[in-house]
């Protein structure tokens, strides 16, 4: 069975987790990252930018966006 993630991609995630644990990791907007999941997502994103073997991002479902757009605002 083929691997989903390359070893070098896991190194990128490991590097970002190290920054996160030390409190040095910042998001794109410059704010400090407080979530472990967000730190992993940043690591995977960096690996994708470098062209490493990482599955594509999950796409949000259409039904979720339809529900939001169909709502009326209360005043």
pLDDT per residue as tens digits for the range 52-73: 998 888 887 665 555 566 666 6
Distance CA 18, CA 11 (A): 10
CA angle 36, 68, 30 (to 5 degrees): 35
Q: What is the pLDDT of residues 25-50, one digit of tens each?
A: 999 999 999 999 999 999 999 999 99
Mean pLDDT of 1-24: 92
Burial of 39: CB neighbours in 10 Å, binned 0-12, 13-18, 19+: buried
Is pTM beyond 0.85? Reply is no
Residue with tokens 């083929």: 2
pLDDT at 33: 94
- Closest by CA to 12, choosing from 57, 56, 42, 55, is 42
């Amino acid at each position: 069975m083929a691997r989903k993630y390359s070893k070098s991609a896991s190194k990128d995630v490991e590097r970002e987790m190290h920054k996160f644990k030390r409190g040095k990791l910042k998001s794109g907007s410059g704010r400090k990252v407080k979530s472990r999941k967000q730190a992993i997502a940043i690591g995977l994103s960096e690996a994708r930018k470098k062209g490493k073997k990482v599955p594509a991002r999950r796409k949000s479902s259409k039904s979720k966006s339809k529900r939001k757009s169909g709502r009326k605002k209360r005043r």
